Amino acid sequence: MLFIIMMIPKEIQRYMLPIDVSSKSANNELELAFANTKEGKWLRDNTQRAGFIIRYSKGKDSITGYAYEPWHIRYVGDIAESIYQEKLTLEEYMNLKK
Is the predicted pLDDT of residue 85 greater than 70, yes or no?
Answer: yes
CATH of 2-96, one of 3.30.1380.10, 3.40.50.620, 3.90.1150.10, 2.60.120.10: 3.30.1380.10
- Neighbouring C-alpha atoms within 13 Å toward the C-beta of 55: 18
Q: Per the residue annotation, which of 69, 86, 91, 92 is the catalytic one?
A: 69
pLDDT of residue 1: 53
Cross-sheet strand order for the sheet of 2-5: 2-5, 18-23, 69-75, 52-56
- Whether 69 sits among the annotated catalytic residues: the reply is yes
Q: What is the pTM of this model?
A: 0.79
- Distance between CA atoms of residues 53 and 18, nearest Å: 10
